[in-house]
Structure 1
């Protein structure tokens, strides 16, 4: 009679066969890989916004002999803001679904770092003629593709890296890192402006920030190189999904992503980007003080995100989403009408909006990831999300300015409120996904 020794019993914390959720220090490495890389991505992206004033007239001269220069300038803004991000979401999402999340994260950070290096090396129009704006447009196209793909890849990576009951917490670091990148970019621009003269900033100072961005991308790449792939071997070895499979086979979840995102992205860009300008234009708020308020409010916003994520893991996603949508639908108009030229007024309005906004931003990554199956999750999120951001979030300052020019500035708060209300109707019909098992 042959006896055999039974295999040892699985420890309570052992993952089920075929899955690879991180444990112990690995979870921190996963979180750092997504968060640090995402912060670097957004540092590079926002650095352009903060420093463009120093190099715009050198690359896109106002009085150029070649009539193509103003056209190229307009094309750069349009292409990056409204075209390349959805394309990046689709293409990099497909890379993440076909070759793994880590592969896509590597591509996005390399693209952003390469784009930053290209901006840093962009020649002036005086030195290279038409080649100068061409190089800058190319760099921004690459960066736009990278930013669009980063959300798709890092969202899926973050949520799939989390242990059960922690997906909301991990999800919150999407906007923690985005805000950190924005604050780091503004701080770097402010430091350079303080240390250098106006002439030095225009000659070479602005290039330093993009050089720093390229180097930080290498740091992010190193951290991501040690991350663990979140898709199972079975999923990776399965037939690869087609580029448009998520849209073709899962139209309802794709539309859900649009509905989930529309109100949230409009409120986000209104409160984090446009609000200082809105206060300057409508109540005569001091420009310098508005930037100070914005910095304080953004820091406060970053601190709130993990708290919102933890709360969603305990009470569910829908309550937070409904508080966000209902809060903005009811309070957006009164809050914006409360603005005065007082520092305290803008700070309180900013922080109040940040509290409500956390109900969406802290869990957007988790909600989006929980809507799609793993096979097409990244591409399924990437394209509709980026397209909706381009249509509603990226245009928020332009819509607000248009209302002001038309003499109807009071309509903009209603625009935000109505869109949040419409997203709230979508949230009402969403199933609660916080405690569902997530396939990888």
Structure 2
């Protein structure tokens, strides 16, 4: 019997079959991939629907794109709310209940984006509908990370948490890859005019259908929170003993701040390299839209393959060496790498893949590191709120900040902004204890 299976068996009542490792991974990963497909389709298709939803500014063609990325950022600011609310549900009612709610919200938000009217037809109603859809999706994805992170790491045992943790970003990248590939395929099959008129809506309708598939798969998952799993037993925890909404912040303020420091550099590097870089190449180097999506797709395949390797490595050498390598690497190399972006297909592919290698030092262990900070009682909410708040402040605004720097005539400042945040996280990582050998706190 493997170590992970032994731990899983210890967590279920007598007479109940322990959860299959593959089934638990599939429930978390496939559902998570669907969630992130819906979320990322927006950023990949923004250049096509921006002018449909927002009016152009006088003499400035970047106004619709800036407005679209501003809505992208607005969605991120619902993520802390989702992280807090869905995290509390995960801690009180169970991880599976929270995961079911998040995928239902994401599917509904994706359908609403697909049905968003044009500005020409309805005026200000068009951007209002788009904002509402992104608020719903932001609420969903904020809770998704908290619930799926805890579910994945609790499904593993000591010595395998890094590997299980890596599937958080394997599945996230799979969803992003599917979104990028769908956008690239639509761009190849349709004219730019067709893409702008109706082609982009197809991708969001597809996402809404995928959410139903993810919901069905998650219904087969087994709960990993003991008090939620044992709710029908005589020794079930009383409602009064359940954690309060702000208990994690109130009782663990240092750990909450630590999550912010761990996340700051990782989120700016992640969203710059996996989401914004194709648009950065278009805006700053005149790169072709379709080719930029193709480069993004190829680099995401490479990135997904790296994640389990990083997770396994962290189980052998620890989380801290990978985090330090990631943050120092970006602090030193972010500026030269982004300056190497030109209108050459090969140069953009090399820059994106080089960043993916460094980024793996963060993404492959982030779920494990976060989960190892908090006890099970408040783990989901404890991770969800500070993580999502930091992502909203620095990750969600990355496309907008980068485009704003370009509009203001200071495009060269954006790489320095990325490097500075990674340096801040490097200093935080220096203070972290190594947690890979510790038993997960219950």
- Give the TM-score, by structure 2 length: 0.86
- Report the counterpart of residue 437 of structure 1 in structure 2: 439
Whether contact under 8 Å (1:301, 1:355) holds in the other structure is yes
Whether contact under 8 Å (1:112, 1:143) holds in the other structure is yes
- In the TM superposition, 1:225-264 aligns within 5 A as 225-233=219-227, 237-238=236-237, 239-264=241-266
Structure 1 unaligned regions, length at least 5: 1-10, 64-69
- Report the counterpart of residue 49 of structure 1 in structure 2: 43
Change (3 A) 1:218 1:407: closer
Whether contact under 8 Å (1:76, 1:141) holds in the other structure is no
The alignment status of 1:215 with 2:209, answered yes or no, reads yes
Whether contact under 8 Å (1:333, 1:413) holds in the other structure is yes
Structure 2 unaligned regions, length at least 5: 58-63
- Report the counterpart of residue 314 of structure 1 in structure 2: 316
Secondary structure of 1:431's counterpart equals coil
Whether contact under 8 Å (1:18, 1:233) holds in the other structure is no
- Report the counterpart of residue 113 of structure 1 in structure 2: 107
Whether contact under 8 Å (1:76, 1:140) holds in the other structure is no
Please tell me the root mean square deviation across aligned C-alpha atoms, in Å. 3.0
Secondary structure of 2:157's counterpart equals coil
- Report the counterpart of residue 148 of structure 2 in structure 1: 154
Whether contact under 8 Å (1:76, 1:137) holds in the other structure is no
Q: Look at both structures and tell me which one has the larger radius of gyration over its CA atoms.
A: 1
Deviation at 1:400, TM superposition (A): 3.0
Secondary structure of 1:371's counterpart equals coil
How many residue pairs align between the two structures? Answer: 422
Deviation at 1:171, TM superposition (A): 0.8
- Give the TM-score, by structure 1 length: 0.86
Alignment match of 2:344 (pick from 342, 345, 350): 342
| Aligned mates of 1:419, 1:168 — CA distance in 2 | 24
- In the TM superposition, 1:17-416 aligns within 5 A as 19-20=11-12, 26-60=20-54, 77=71, 80-124=74-118, 131-196=125-190, 201=195, 204-233=198-227, 237-238=236-237, 239-416=241-418
| Aligned mates of 1:319, 1:23 — CA distance in 2 | 37
1:81-116, CA deviations, whole angstroms, 9 ceiling, x for partnerless residues? 342111111111111111000000000001111222
Change (3 A) 1:423 1:240: same
Deviation at 1:78, TM superposition (A): 6.7
Whether contact under 8 Å (2:4, 2:158) holds in the other structure is no
1:181-228, CA deviations, whole angstroms, 9 ceiling, x for partnerless residues? 112112223333444455654554433322221211111111110101
Deviation at 1:119, TM superposition (A): 2.7
- Report the counterpart of residue 67 of structure 1 in structure 2: none
Deviation at 1:360, TM superposition (A): 0.3
- Report the counterpart of residue 5 of structure 1 in structure 2: none
